[in-house]
Amino acid sequence: MEQKLFTNEKILQWLMYFSEGTQVDLEKVKLLDITRRNKNLIPTVEAHSAVLAFTETGNDDIFYRLWDAGLGECTVWYNEGSEPRGTLLSSKVKDMINRGIHASAGMLILNPDARSTYKIGMQNSSFSRGSIHYVGSEIRAVILNKMHIAQGDTVCIVSGESIAVEAAIIAGDGTVIAVERHQDDRDTMEANIQKFGLHNIAIIDHLDDKTMTALPVPSLAFLVASASLEQEIRCLLQINPYMELIVYTLDFHCAANLPALLEGLGIGETEVISLSVSKLTAKGTFVREPAPWIISGRS
């Protein structure tokens, strides 16, 4: 059994400590042990009015990252020790940016502006600038809708950087494997991981048996079509023959030929859809964004 720093008994003790010292409604508290693998604090605080986070010593920039994500007005309740006893203190995140975590303990973060639901299809301005040309937010929203990502899913994303970020937020208890072939794109992906406070994204530079060996097996994959598309699909199906696949392409011939290719690889229930988005400009004219085809199928 996995050894946990915060056992059920410890968690209950911290809950009792904060319930006695604050007016927070425990029914609304989200528990998050960020000492465990792949736990995302920033998206959790953004989506919940009260988060009881369990941390370990040495996390020196945790409050700076919360402030940098726009959460400076959140209130943090904490104490100076590693046990749930003694004086209970409170401060705004913006007043704690130079303070790290000096003891393994629980802290209660209150966010009065929390959104209880995640907004699919973030604006492109939300992402880090870099080498990546992000797909339009409306098209990304449709893609994510087609993916039907669950909270604990393992998802492989090939050259779909903004898709990987949003998938990691949705699959907060899962893992996103981001395949980025070029160093500039990997650097931009790392910047997005830092910006959104994501700990459940693993970046690899190509897709094959060796790079996937130490990673969890994905059940779902999103791929931007490229010259290596067939090889990448074959690799994924060797790892999981029951993989669900979604392919994005701007090439009509690729879209037309993909159903036959997928069928030959044992993928059925193929669906091909075309997306078109036009936006009205300040000059009163419509500008059409690149119109992709989305091809999906499952074993």
Q: How far apart are CA 267 and CA 244, in angstroms?
A: 8
User: On the CB side of 296, how many CA atoms lie within 13 Å of its CA?
Assistant: 16
Structure tokens at 219: 């059940």
Tokens of 9: 């008994």
Span 28-54, pLDDT tens digits = 899 999 988 778 999 999 989 999 999
Per-residue pLDDT at 129:
82
Q: Which residue has the higher pLDDT, 248 or 280?
A: 248
Query: What is the per-residue pLDDT across 55-90, written as a single tens digit (0 to 9) for each?
Result: 988 888 899 999 988 999 999 999 988 999 999 999
Q: Say which residues have a Cβ less than 8 Å from residue 154's Cβ, sequence separation at least 6.
A: 171, 174, 175, 176, 177, 216, 217, 218, 219, 220
227 to 111, 224, 249: CA distances (angstroms):
46, 10, 12
Residue 22 has pLDDT above 70, yes or no: yes
Determine the residue type at 169. Answer: I
pTM of the model: 0.84
Contacts of 119 (CB under 8 A, 6+ apart): none
Q: Mean pLDDT throughout 142-167?
A: 94
Please give the domain boundaries of the chain with CATH numbers for all domains.
8-110 (3.30.950.10), 124-298 (3.40.50.150)
- Reported residue count of the chain is 299
Asked if 299 contacts 267 with a C-beta cutoff of 8 angstroms, the reply is: yes
Mean pLDDT, the chain, whole residue set: 91
